[in-house]
């Protein structure tokens, strides 16, 4: 009996923290039409002419800061652990592969291994809890492009999002509980940001997201596929699990790139406002990421920490991501078994 294939895909990271490898990574990432979603001529000008040349040396310094001598990039390191542990959990009936949307290991090589193993089906899990065209959408499109060229197209399925996965919510809550959230002045749920126009494009009604007051503060039948609505929902579920009342937490969005409006409120503005209100200690969850990465270990723990102190605060504490926590591996296992 042939095996069932499972393909875990995360975003990707540079091969090394050198300026040339960071340049290669940013070039592939930002030339993706789902990421910088403007016309091709403008995208090429912005990415190759401005963002990549100016950003690569700066980003390389940040990557050098988080790069571990033995294990390299945290994102790849934790992805490898997740892959290994899911493989062990699922046993011989499954062939589990790991790929990254950008750089390595490539999606093409992972799909080829599944093809050569003659797997009877492929389940693709894009490792982003909330659906965004720039993340899960891009992964799914890439997989479909490659498989679409095969003579025999296999049984293939995609997990579109898992923003409300019970075991995932519990893992974030367990990680947060260790810091005793009640001892902090305020809690942040900081999600990766997105340009507002990408939310609007994903609203198939064309009349809801960013058009109706408080459009995506709660998940409903109209906005259930919206990144912002799914992010709010994830945060609300973690807060409920930890009994954090609504006035003790704020949902916000980080990592804005460029000058176009992104989903709001911006984490850096929220941090300044809280410092101005006299808050001293912040606990920050980052539930858009299933593994610690540049956006958590540097942007939150270093940059936002420094910004908060400069504005009069004392400490920003990051809650670690799901990484290789056994409960999260069980969450992945159940996603596979329930599919």
**Residues contributing to the site for ligand L6N33NVT (CB under 6 A):** 11, 13, 26, 35, 55, 59, 73, 75, 128, 132, 134-135, 192, 194-195, 255, 257, 288-289, 293-295
- Binding range to Fe ion, per CB under 5 A, among 55-63, 182-190, 203-211, 305-313: 203-211
Rounded to 10°, the helix 52-66/19-30 angle is 120
Using CB under 5 A as the binding rule, whether residue 198 contacts Fe ion is answered as: no
- Report the residue number, 3 or 34, with the smaller CB distance to Fe ion: 34
Which CB, 125 or 209, lies closer to Fe ion?
A: 209
The verdict on whether residue 186 carries a ligand-binding annotation is: no
Residue 203 CB, shortest distance to Fe ion, in Å, is: 6
The pair of three-digit structure tokens given for residue 112, joined into one six-digit string: 């080829």
Contact between residue 34 and residue 152 where contact means Cβ atoms under 8 Å apart: no
Closest CA to 267 of 242, 231, 233: 231
Is 307 assigned to a binding site? no
And the tokens for 275?
A: 């410092």
Selected range binding Fe ion among 151-159, 163-171, 213-221, 279-287, rule: CB under 5 A: 213-221
Contact residues for 176 (Cβ-Cβ < 8 A; gap 6+): 187, 238, 242, 283, 285, 319
Would you tell me how many other CB atoms lie within 10 Å of the CB of residue 58? Answer: 11
Judged by beta carbon distances under 5 to 8 A according to partner kind, the member of ligand L6N33NVT, Fe ion, none in contact with residue 212 is none
DSSP letter (8 states) at residue 182: G
The contacts of residue 261 (CB under 8 Å, 6+ apart) are 195, 196
Minimal distance in Å, beta carbon 3 to ligand L6N33NVT? 29
Binding at 236: pick from Fe ion, ligand L6N33NVT, none (beta carbon under 5-8 Å per type): none
> How many whole angstroms separate alpha carbon 147 and alpha carbon 160?
18
Residue with tokens 């990592």: 255
Does 73 interact with Fe ion (rule: CB under 5 A)? no
Q: Which of 111, 126, 216, 275 binds Fe ion (CB under 5 A)?
A: 216
Angle between helices 74-90 and 326-337 (to 10 degrees): 60
Evaluate whether 228 touches 216 at the Cβ level (below 8 Å). yes
Of 75 and 283, CB closest to Fe ion: 75
Contact between 223 and Fe ion by CB under 5 A: the answer reads yes
Residue 35 interacts, among ligand L6N33NVT, Fe ion, none and using kind-specific CB cut-offs from 5 to 8 Å, with ligand L6N33NVT
CB of 270 to ligand L6N33NVT, least distance (A): 18
Neighbours of 11 (CB within 10 A): 23
How many chain residues are in contact with Fe ion, going by CB under 5 A? Answer: 6
Helices assigned H by DSSP within 71-194: 74-90, 107-116, 138-147, 166-177
Q: Which two tokens stand for residue 302?
A: 């270093």
Q: How far is the CB of 189 from Fe ion (least distance, A)?
A: 16
Residue 159 binds which one of Fe ion, ligand L6N33NVT, none, with CB within 5 to 8 A depending on kind? none
| Binding region | 192, 295
Q: Which residues are near Fe ion by CB under 5 A?
A: 209, 216, 223, 226, 228-229
| Binding region for Fe(2+) | 192, 295
């Amino acid at each position: 009996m042939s095996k069932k294939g499972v393909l875990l895909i995360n975003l990707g990271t540079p091969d090394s923290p050198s300026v040339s490898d960071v340049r290669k990574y940013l070039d592939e990432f930002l030339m993706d039409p789902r990421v910088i979603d403007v016309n091709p001529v403008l995208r090429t000008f912005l990415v190759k002419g401005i963002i990549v040349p100016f950003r690569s040396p700066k980003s390389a310094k940040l990557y050098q800061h988080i790069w571990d001598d033995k294990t390299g990039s945290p994102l790849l390191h934790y992805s490898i652990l997740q892959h290994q542990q899911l493989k062990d959990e699922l046993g011989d009936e499954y062939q589990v592969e790991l790929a990254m949307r950008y750089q390595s290991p490539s999606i093409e090589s992972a799909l080829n291994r599944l093809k050569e193993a003659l797997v009877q089906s492929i389940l693709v899990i894009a490792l982003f809890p909330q659906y965004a065209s720039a993340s899960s959408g891009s992964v799914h499109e890439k997989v479909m492009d490659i498989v679409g060229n095969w003579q025999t197209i296999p049984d293939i399925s995609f997990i579109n999002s898992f923003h409300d996965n019970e075991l995932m919510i519990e893992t974030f809550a367990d990680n947060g509980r260790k810091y005793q959230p009640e001892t902090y002045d305020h809690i942040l749920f900081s999600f990766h940001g997105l340009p507002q126009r990408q939310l609007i494009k994903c609203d198939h009604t064309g009349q809801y997201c960013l058009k109706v007051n408080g459009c995506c503060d709660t998940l409903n039948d109209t906005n259930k596929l919206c990144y912002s609505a799914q992010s709010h929902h994830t945060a609300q579920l973690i807060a409920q699990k930890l009994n954090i009342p609504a006035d003790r937490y704020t949902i916000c969005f980080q990592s804005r790139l460029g000058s176009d409006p992104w989903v709001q409120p911006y984490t850096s503005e929220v941090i300044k406002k809280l410092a101005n209100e006299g808050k001293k200690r912040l606990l920050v969850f980052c539930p858009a990421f299933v593994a610690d990465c540049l956006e958590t270990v540097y942007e939150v723990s270093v940059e936002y920490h420094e910004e908060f102190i400069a504005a009069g605060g004392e400490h920003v504490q990051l809650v670690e991501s799901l990484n290789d926590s056994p409960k999260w591996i069980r969450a992945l296992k159940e996603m596979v078994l329930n599919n």
